[in-house]
Amino acid sequence: MNLILLGPPGAGKGTQAVRIAERNRLTALSSGDILRGEIRAGSDVGQRAAPFVQSGGLVPDEIITAVMLAGLRRLPAGQGFILDGFPRTVAQAEALTAGLAAAGIRIDAVLNFHLDDAQIVRRIAGRRTCGSCQATYNVHFLPPRSPDVCDRCGSALVQRADDREDVVQNRLATYRQQTAPLVDYYRKIGLLKNIDAAAVPEHVEQQVARVLDGLGG
Ligand SMILES: [Zn+2]
């Protein structure tokens, strides 16, 4: 079984990727891991990607797609995988579809984790972390007993710069512009399965299990 996960930041995709991989004995592959692996291995595609990574620039679509295909080809024959964080654009998805077809690899389903913008902002912008013991809280869902004070150790809670509401809104705008069109792309080729990511993680996991059980037939 080969899967692709789609969804905005804050939808819990990373958590689910780990659980789906364990339950179905799949290898979870992130674009960052494969990219670093190919660069470290000094492969042909790794060498082409390295200058972009070193300069902090975006790796062009055709190179990142070649990197991902190289990473997939390193998997043992028959080992199923989950792609999380790739593709990010329709151009990457088209190149991936062509490359996989050429390699005789089939995607069985694309799981689309749906969460509306207001819920995403509450989840991410509500996060607080203890600067000392790293305990995590959410001002909406898991508030500390006293505002901005860690229940465990009494230290001050902080909000990561990445989690500030304006930053979250920017990340969401990028997602809506670049990645949301992938939902239509995969719907048109009949692979899209919608998952309601607003549920608690256990219920999200059950929805995913039902979808994957339905793929067998
Ligand atoms: Zn603490």
Let me know if 123 is a catalytic residue.
Answer: no
| pLDDT of 92 | 92
**Annotated catalytic residue: which of 48, 127, 128, 193?**
127
* Class for the domain spanning 2-26+80-213: alpha beta
Q: What is the pLDDT of residues 113-146, one digit of tens each?
A: 999 999 999 999 999 999 999 999 999 989 999 9
Stretch 177-182: mean pLDDT: 89
How much is the mean pLDDT over the chain? 92
Let me know if 127 is a catalytic residue.
Answer: yes
Judged against a pLDDT cut of 90, whether residue 15 lies above it is answered with no
Judged against a pLDDT cut of 80, whether residue 217 lies above it is answered with no
How do strand 127-130 and strand 157-158 relate by DSSP bridges? antiparallel
Let me know if 73 is a catalytic residue.
Answer: no
The domain segmentation of the chain, as residue ranges, is 2-26+80-213
| pLDDT of 215 | 86
| pLDDT of 49 | 94
Structure confidence at residue 188 as a pLDDT band (50, 70, 90): very high
> 181: closest CA among 101, 118, 91?
91
What is the CA(164)–ligand 1 centre distance, in A? Answer: 20
| pLDDT of 73 | 86
What is the CA(143)–ligand 1 centre distance, in A? Answer: 13
Let me know if 160 is a catalytic residue.
Answer: yes
Judged against a pLDDT cut of 60, whether residue 31 lies above it is answered with yes
- Give the neighbor-by-neighbor strand order of the sheet with 157-158: 136-138, 127-130, 157-158
Let me know if 88 is a catalytic residue.
Answer: yes
